[in-house]
Structures are given as C-alpha cells and as structure tokens.
C-alpha cells in the first residue's frame, strides 16, 4: 500500500467484496487471466474511502503483464462496485413521462438530471431490491419487484448481463430496469419538483418529469441514453411490448 494507508485499512481493502469481486472477474470465463496470456504481478492499494463502517470506494494499481511481450497494460482502478438504474415511464392523459432526479454531483461540478440509480450496499447482489429501494428514496414511490423489467437481461450471456459505464478506469457494473405504469394527472403534478433524497446522507434531490419523446436530448446522463438504447431496441424486437402499461394503485 502507498504511504498513508493504515495496516487495518489495507486488510479491510483486501478483504472487501469490491476487491474480491475484482479478483473473481479476473479469473472468470471472459476474465483477463482466463487464457493464460497475461499475469498479475502486484497490486498497490492507493486509497480507501469509508462509508461509515463499510468500504465505499477503493483506488488501486494492478501490475498486469502480457507474457509474450512483457508489456504492462494500464492498470489503475477506481473501484465502487455494482449499481442499478431505473427508467420509470408513467403514462397519463396520452403523454408518457420519464421520471428523473436532479441533484448535485460533485465529481462533475454540476447539478445533473439523471435516472434514479444507486449502488448496492452489500454483496448479496440484490439488484432488483436495490432498484425498488432507490426509487422509494429518490422519487418517493413504492414499486413492486415483479413489475420491474430487467432490460440488461436481454444482453448476450458473454456480457454477464451488466453494463460497464466507464470500463477504462472504473469497475462499476450496472443493471438497468424498466418500470411502466398508468397514473392520474394528479400524480404527475405531485411528482413534478418534489424534494426527496436522504438528507442525512447529504442527498438533495428534486424530482423532474420529462416527456419521453424529448428525453434523449434533455440530459447529460449516460444512464438515460443507455436505457433508451436498450428500451427502443427491445421494443423493436418485440421483447418489450410497445404499450403494456398497468394502471397504478
């Protein structure tokens, strides 16, 4: 570990599900070490960010070499683990609205309009449970797991049914869910501009509703465009019916 990392932080880092998951990926079927052409020589733990008692983010440098040429491949990793995002489409009065969050995003320096999303808090891999919980925290509506369509489940098995938002620097892998429902005009009115988020976690979120047909141009969020790509192509292949909306409670 680099200077400044305590021995207890170092041990926690090595034992963390973030690091173990990364090692598991290395040795998986589409893993870097799978065909034996590469070798992992060393890992340098550079940074540990705690979220309370739990490791939130890890930063490390892995020295991985191509056996044939002896050449090292770029190995800097910002590890934050798996996450989920939800494309919520509410139909009301013939218009379909996407439900978004608007919040401060310090890494970008800006206030960003995004799909409701969040990281998995533990290593149980409950993606759909996290999706339902994040929507409740960020939008304030209670969805049912069975109403959630996993758009990433349509992907080829070789992908592991997950998407890498930024594979050049970050381990993040994401599932994207779709929820569609019919609601009263009043629900749309109540949701628009609603203030939500876990204040004690420093979440200051405003809910924004945007007509789906305009959505693709309205945000700088990759999750939005990813979900549109998945949703449009899944509809084109009849994997998701064009208009199978369920009235809400």
Q: Does 233 bind a second copy (CB under 8 A)?
A: yes
Binding mask 71-110 for a second copy (x = CB under 8 A): xxxxxxxxxx--x--------------------xxxxxxx
Count of residues engaged in binding a second copy, rule: CB under 8 A: 90
178 lies in the binding site for a second copy (CB under 8 A): no
d(Cα 95, Cα 127) in Å, to the nearest integer? 29
Task: Name which of 94 and 168 has its Cβ closer to a second copy.
Answer: 168
Q: Please tell me whether residue 112 binds a second copy under the rule CB under 8 A.
A: yes
Question: Is 22 among the residues that bind a second copy (CB under 8 A)?
Answer: yes
Q: Which of residues 124-153 bind a second copy (CB under 8 A)?
A: none
The β-bridge relationship of strands 174-182 and 83-92 is: parallel
**Window 26-65: residues binding a second copy (CB under 8 A):** 26, 28, 30-32, 34, 38, 46-47, 49, 56-57, 59, 61-62, 64
Q: How far apart are CA 15 and CA 30, in angstroms?
A: 23
Contact, 130 vs 143, CB < 8 A?
no
Check binding of 121 to a second copy (CB under 8 A). Answer: no
Minimum separation from the CB atom of position 45 to a second copy (A): 11
Minimum Å distance from CB 3 to a second copy? 3
At its nearest, how many Å lie between a second copy and the CB of residue 146?
Answer: 24
Alpha-carbon distance 74 to 169, whole Å?
A: 9
CB crowding 11-37: b at 16 or more within 10 Å, else e: ebbeebbbbebbeeeeeeeeebeeeee
As a whole number of angstroms, the distance between CA 124 and CA 41 comes to: 30
228 binds a second copy (CB under 8 A): yes
Q: Which is nearer to a second copy, 89 or 119 (CB)?
A: 119
Other C-beta atoms lying within 10 Å of the C-beta of residue 80: 17
Is 10 among the residues that bind a second copy (CB under 8 A)? no
Q: Which residues, 6+ apart, have CB-to-CB distance to 154 below 8 Å?
A: 230, 234, 239
CB of 247 to a second copy, least distance (A): 28
Kindly state the smallest distance separating residue 189's Cβ from a second copy, in Å.
23
Which stretch in 7-15, 123-131, 183-191, 198-206 sits in contact with a second copy by CB under 8 A?
A: 198-206
In the block, residue with structure tokens 């700088």: 220
* Helices 7-15, 17-27: crossing angle, 10 deg rounding: 50
């Amino acid at each position: 570990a680099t200077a400044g990392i305590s021995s207890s932080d170092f041990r926690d880092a090595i034992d963390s599900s973030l690091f173990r998951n990364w090692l598991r990926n290395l040795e998986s079927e589409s893993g870097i070490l799978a065909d034996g052409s590469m070798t992992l020589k060393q890992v340098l733990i550079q940074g540990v960010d705690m979220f309370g008692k739990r490791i939130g983010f890890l930063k490390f440098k892995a020295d991985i070499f191509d056996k044939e040429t002896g050449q090292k491949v770029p190995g800097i990793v910002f590890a934050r683990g798996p996450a989920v995002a939800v494309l919520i489409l509410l139909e009301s009065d013939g218009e379909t609205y996407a439900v978004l969050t608007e919040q401060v995003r310090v890494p970008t320096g800006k206030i960003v309009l995004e799909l409701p999303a969040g990281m998995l808090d533990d290593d149980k891999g409950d993606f759909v449970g996290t999706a339902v919980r994040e929507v409740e925290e960020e939008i304030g509506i209670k969805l049912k797991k069975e109403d959630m369509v996993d758009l990433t489940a349509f992907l080829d098995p070789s992908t592991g049914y997950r998407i890498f938002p930024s594979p050049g620097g970050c381990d993040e892998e994401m599932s994207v869910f779709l929820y569609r429902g019919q609601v009263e005009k009043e629900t749309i009115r109540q949701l628009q501009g609603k203030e939500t988020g876990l204040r004690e976690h420093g979440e200051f979120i405003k809910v924004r509703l945007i007509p789906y047909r305009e959505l693709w141009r309205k945000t700088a969020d990759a999750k939005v465009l990813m979900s549109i790509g998945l949703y449009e192509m899944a509809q084109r292949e009849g994997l998701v019916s064009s208009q199978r909306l369920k009235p809400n409670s």
